[in-house]
């Protein structure tokens, strides 16, 4: 039995168990994630973030959802990860690269008194190509009507690190739990995250996310980015948008260099657990 040292962290309410595995001792990360993320019998979290060495970037981040499934990328998670590796002297630079399942991401840290107060991430670019989401069919899914669980939805889907589907709504128009039926819709062979988005004005939106493999979350970084991309594509918002999620506020900017996400990352507590 091993004693695993960890830090519980959160970014806009999206919470993670973060630990180092430089020697790759843990091969079954799916089982470990389910144990650690159990809110009754474990630590509790939306997923785990594993710190490993990288041959192609400054450091590598592995993300496993609370249900044990692998995630290529997580916007709130990578901000927490960046804070962790800086404050634990693993990568001691204010700007560095992270290897993820969605390629190499560049992190820019805002530091005060030797502590990371916020992190800006270049999230890369989106793709509406259904082959990359992946989704069935050859046409882009833009304002497409579907039926799920006996109800009709108008959706737009894309890949931004992970699959995302965005629905425009008014307050109270949908319950976030309805995302479960859309997540597993036959259109998406590998499932999809689902974002219920309300446009407040051209510079501000509200987003509630049903996260694939985790369920309702207080915030989803890639989901907030995807919602801004979709709303901008439909000419509903500008290129710099404040996104209000239940757990906090993120700033998303669409630039020539990629989609930039800026937001907080905080330590909740640290501890040890037998695994």
In eight-state DSSP terms, residue 220 is -
Tell me which residue of 158, 148, 139 sits closest to 197, measured CA to CA: 158
Per annotation, catalytic residue among 37, 80, 197, 220: 220
221 is in an annotated binding site: yes
Residue 186: C-alpha distances to residues 131, 162, 164, 190 (Å): 14, 17, 15, 9
37 is catalytic: no
Give the three-class secondary structure for 75.
Answer: helix
212 is in an annotated binding site: yes
Contacts of 89 by beta carbon, 8 Å cutoff, 6+ apart:
none
Tokens 């499932």 found at: 191
The overall longest dimension of the chain from CA atoms, in Å, is 55
Per annotation, catalytic residue among 74, 80, 197, 231: 74
193 is in an annotated binding site: yes
Cβ atoms of 142 and 159 within 8 Å: the answer is no
Give the three-class secondary structure for 249.
Answer: strand
14 is in an annotated binding site: yes
75 is in an annotated binding site: yes
211 is in an annotated binding site: yes
Residue 198: C-alpha distances to residues 163, 185, 189, 239, 243 (Å): 20, 22, 27, 16, 10
220 is catalytic: yes
Helix 75-87 vs helix 221-233: crossing angle, to nearest 10:
130
Cα–Cα distance between 135 and 29 in angstroms, integer?
Answer: 27
65 is in an annotated binding site: yes
Which residues sit in the known binding site for substrate?
Answer: 14, 65, 75-76, 193, 211-212, 221-222
Q: Which sequence positions are flagged as catalytic?
A: 74, 220
Which residues sit in the known binding site?
Answer: 14, 65, 75-76, 193, 211-212, 221-222
């Amino acid at each position: 039995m091993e004693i695993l040292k960890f830090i519980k962290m959160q970014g806009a309410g999206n919470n993670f168990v973060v630990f180092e595995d430089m020697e790759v001792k843990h091969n079954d990360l799916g089982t470990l994630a389910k144990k650690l993320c159990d809110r009754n019998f474990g630590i509790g979290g939306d997923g785990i973030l594993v710190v490993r060495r990288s041959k192609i970037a400054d450091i590598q981040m592995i993300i496993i959802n609370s249900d044990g499934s692998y995630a290529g990328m997580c916007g709130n998670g990578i901000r927490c990860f960046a804070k962790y590796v800086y404050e634990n002297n693993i990568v001691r630079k204010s700007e560095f690269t992270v290897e993820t399942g969605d390629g190499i991401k560049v992190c820019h840290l805002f530091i005060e008194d030797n502590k990371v107060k916020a992190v800006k991430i270049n999230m890369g670019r989106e793709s509406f190509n259904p082959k990359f989401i992946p989704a069935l069919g050859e046409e882009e899914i833009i304002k497409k009507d579907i039926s799920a669980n006996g109800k009709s939805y108008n959706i737009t889907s894309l890949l931004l690190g992970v699959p995302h589907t965005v629905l425009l709504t008014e307050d109270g128009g949908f319950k976030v739990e309805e995302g479960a039926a859309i997540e597993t819709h036959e259109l998406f062979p590998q499932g999809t995250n689902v974002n219920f988005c309300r446009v407040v004005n051209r510079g501000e939106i509200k987003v509630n996310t049903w996260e694939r493999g985790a369920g309702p979350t207080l915030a989803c970084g890639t989901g907030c980015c995807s919602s801004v991309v979709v709303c901008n594509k439909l000419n509903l918002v500008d290129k710099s948008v404040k996104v209000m999620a239940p757990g906090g506020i993120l700033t998303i900017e669409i630039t020539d260099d990629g989609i930039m996400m800026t937001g907080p990352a905080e330590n909740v507590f640290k501890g040890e657990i037998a695994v």
